[in-house]
Structure 1
Amino acid sequence: MKIASLLLLAVYSSISVAAIDVTDTFRVSGFGTQSATVTDQEIPTFYQLNINDEWCFDCDTTFGIQLDWEINNALRSSVQLVKTPSDEFSDPSLEWAYVAYRNGELNTKLGRLRIPLFMISEYYYVSEAYPWLRPPQDVYNSVFGFTYFDGASIEWSSWINDEAHLRLLAFGATPKETSEIVQGKNITITSRDAIGVTAELNLDDIHFRASYLHANYKQDLVPSVTGYQDLELFTLGANYLLGNLNLMSEVILSQDIHSNWYFSANYLFDSWSPYITYSQRRKLRDNESLLIGAKYSLLANVSTYIEWQHVWGRTESISGHFTIPQNPTQKIQTDVNVYSIGLSFTF
């Protein structure tokens, strides 16, 4: 039925929640996340978060403001500024800033855009919009925190019949150079010739998403690999609503780096929603992860979380989700438990 498909589209599309209408054509919305988290290892865990055995009250801290302006019936613009977990409040990230033009079933965007690789890419930092405090790290933490690109996209979307909605998106990015801290080292990643396509299909109570990205890049993390390399990256995802039970799974694949996936289930009991997620990484990294938690909705736009996550890796200097190499002459730590409580909101 179209009603169920519309529910899925509402969940898995760009969202602007609880917006404040400044005028009939201009509105402001926002979101945020705050947590207290700790592990049982002194070695930092999770890329960009670096959680260890001392309580951290700002590792997940996120605050975003989004401005939307409907210039006319066909033309609109949007800007999203986010203090991400790795940013300072004084130096937030411009996550997107684009102009969009709609002509019938075609929608063209130009500017800074969100990379449309994953099921929740369009609202990556909006914890209130997904079941967990943070997205499954084995998949969403696999692209060095890249969430946006500068370039253009063109999208076609249409109802095929009363129960099926199809969305096709093609995008291209301009060259980009980024500095990151990976494995305790400052590295530079330079990309060029990045293009991709995304397809989404909604069938009543199930949602499918598939993406392909081709990029030409170079990096200085591995000295033995020089010059530009080709990256062919595929992502697949599905979400199934079965009454109050929500099942979700995604996989990311590439020739030498990624063979990562997760499967997650959450169930809605009034205001409570317990969840469980199992995930794996293979190829470049080799580890498993089990996440158990619960989300409680205090208000329609405010939720709290409590989570326990266990990650186990291999006996090697760079193990699991530890963010710095270990000394191979000493005992290698392979397991870590991550404990988190959190709060998310939108306005």
Structure 2
Amino acid sequence: MNISTYCFTATALTLTTFAANAKINVTDDISLSGFGSTSITQSDNATPLYVNREITDDTCYDCDTTFGLQGDIRFNDSFNASVQIVKRPQDEWSSPELEWAYLGYNVSDFNLKVGRLRLPLFLSSEYYYVGQAYTSARPPQEVYNSILGITSYDGISGTWDIEINDESYLTLTPYVGVESKGEVNIRTTNYDFDIEKTFGFHSEVSGFDYRVMFNYAHFKYAVDVTLPGIPTQQYPADNINIYTVGLEKSWDKLMLTTEVLVDTMHFNWYSSLAYNMDKFTPYVTYAESHHNQKNNSLLFGVRYDLTTTISLNAEWKYTDANSGDNGELIADPVDGDLDAQLYTVMVNFIF
């Protein structure tokens, strides 16, 4: 599965069509591709914003830095393999993450994958770290960051592609995961997740100018919490069911994107409008978080496509935890200030 095939939004809006040569063909059956993002960003609040990024009022040059390499091998018409390694924003350059590594089998309209796979929770899950593939600098954090940056699972999935008519397709993907580990650091607190069980069902209906997605995922997990100077606290296993719904719809140069995530801890959603004007695409996004993390935000931005493989984003975002909760601030406010303005200039590229 090549990175260059992931850009539904950009194709529908004629934003940035990934170039056919946005990869290196080692042989006829082996290819190497890559992607990256980096930014200059700053908030007007000293309290860090966003898990895995921790943006403060100090100008940050590496809070969003991402770099990934992907290798694809086609053994024959049926068997293929893919590996993707990513230095995520929270990773050191010396310790990137194996985001996926799977063996695939294709027959007729059915595709089977076994290995480490991407969790298909969101519209942009498959290309979550490929900043060039979506309009804004980051996917809306109220939804995409609600699961603390856990983006993959170890297991198996099967996908059926069903042609509804000449213009519409239905995709059905059940998936099951085996026991796996996950780790999230929030400031000085470390969370070690033991994910004992994963299973879910992803479905999608798509056509020339629209895409509708529904996903259900169930996780059974236990977590150990470690704070400096305090013995590790072990919490018993718990279950969570996550439901997500997404919609993309274009009208010529105008694109609407909206997604909702619901579980026992969240009711989060966003809606975004983007309008393409040749190389420029201005966009606006409004988002809300409810239940455990109450927050609302408004974002204005513009994307500029330098080439088919390089883009720039400039954004301003206002976020407000008006309920008295911390919202998108990931620690208790330093001065009691629960709102923040976030400024971002980002560059994205693929090859």
Q: If the length of structure 1 is used for normalisation, what is the TM-score?
A: 0.92
8 Å CA contact 2:10, 2:135 repeated in 1:
no
8 Å CA contact 1:315, 1:333 repeated in 2:
no
Cα distance 1:309–1:25, how it changes in 2: closer, same or farther (>3 A)?
same
Single out whichever of 40-49 and 220-229 deviates more from structure 2: 220-229
The aligned residue for residue 326 of structure 2 is 319
Map 1:11-50 onto structure 2 (within 5 A). 18-50=22-54
Distance (Å, rounded) in 2 between the aligned partners of 1:42 and 1:16 = 41
Structure 1 vs Structure 2 CA RMSD: 2.2
Single out whichever of 238-247 and 175-184 deviates more from structure 2: 175-184
Distance (Å, rounded) in 2 between the aligned partners of 1:185 and 1:161 = 51
Counterpart of 1:236 (choices 221, 239, 245) is 245
Distance (Å, rounded) in 2 between the aligned partners of 1:162 and 1:9 = 20
Runs of 4+ residues over 2 Å off in structure 1: 6-12, 218-226
1:176 Cα deviation after fit: 1.8
The aligned residue for residue 121 of structure 2 is 117
Query: Is 1:167–2:174 an aligned residue pair?
Result: no
The residue type paired with residue 249 of structure 2 is Y
8 Å CA contact 2:294, 2:323 repeated in 1:
no
Cα distance 1:135–1:294, how it changes in 2: closer, same or farther (>3 A)?
same
The aligned residue for residue 345 of structure 2 is 341
Q: Provide the secondary structure at the position in 1 that maps to 2:60.
A: coil
Q: Provide the secondary structure at the position in 2 that maps to 1:42.
A: coil
Distance (Å, rounded) in 1 between the aligned partners of 2:261 and 2:49 = 21
Counterpart of 1:278 (choices 258, 273, 286) is 286
The residue type paired with residue 278 of structure 2 is D
1:90 Cα deviation after fit: 1.1
Single out whichever of 197-206 and 259-268 deviates more from structure 2: 197-206
Map 1:1-347 onto structure 2 (within 5 A). 8=8, 18-182=22-186, 184-220=188-224, 226-254=235-263, 256-314=264-322, 316=324, 319-326=326-333, 331-347=335-351
Q: Provide the secondary structure at the position in 1 that maps to 2:164.
A: strand
1:9 Cα deviation after fit: 9.1
Distance (Å, rounded) in 1 between the aligned partners of 2:267 and 2:275 = 28
Structure 2: give runs of 5+ residues left out of the alignment.
1-5, 13-17, 227-231
1:218 Cα deviation after fit: 2.2
Q: How many residues align?
A: 335
Cα distance 1:209–1:250, how it changes in 2: closer, same or farther (>3 A)?
same
Deviations 1:200-227 (Å, cap 9, x if unpaired)? 0013421100000011112345999942
Percent identity between matched residues is: 36
The aligned residue for residue 15 of structure 2 is none
Q: Provide the secondary structure at the position in 1 that maps to 2:46.
A: coil
Distance (Å, rounded) in 1 between the aligned partners of 2:87 and 2:19 = 17
8 Å CA contact 2:182, 2:193 repeated in 1:
yes
Q: Provide the secondary structure at the position in 1 that maps to 2:132.
A: helix
Cα distance 1:128–1:232, how it changes in 2: closer, same or farther (>3 A)?
same
Q: If the length of structure 2 is used for normalisation, what is the TM-score?
A: 0.90
The residue type paired with residue 239 of structure 1 is E
1:189 Cα deviation after fit: 1.8
8 Å CA contact 1:315, 1:332 repeated in 2:
no
Distance (Å, rounded) in 2 between the aligned partners of 1:277 and 1:106 = 36
1:185 Cα deviation after fit: 1.4
Q: Provide the secondary structure at the position in 2 that maps to 1:91.
A: coil
8 Å CA contact 1:77, 1:98 repeated in 2:
yes
Distance (Å, rounded) in 2 between the aligned partners of 1:235 and 1:123 = 17
The aligned residue for residue 3 of structure 1 is none
Distance (Å, rounded) in 2 between the aligned partners of 1:177 and 1:202 = 33
8 Å CA contact 1:45, 1:51 repeated in 2:
yes
Structure 1: give runs of 5+ residues left out of the alignment.
1-5
Deviations 1:76-134 (Å, cap 9, x if unpaired)? 00000111101111111110010000111111000110000100000000010000011
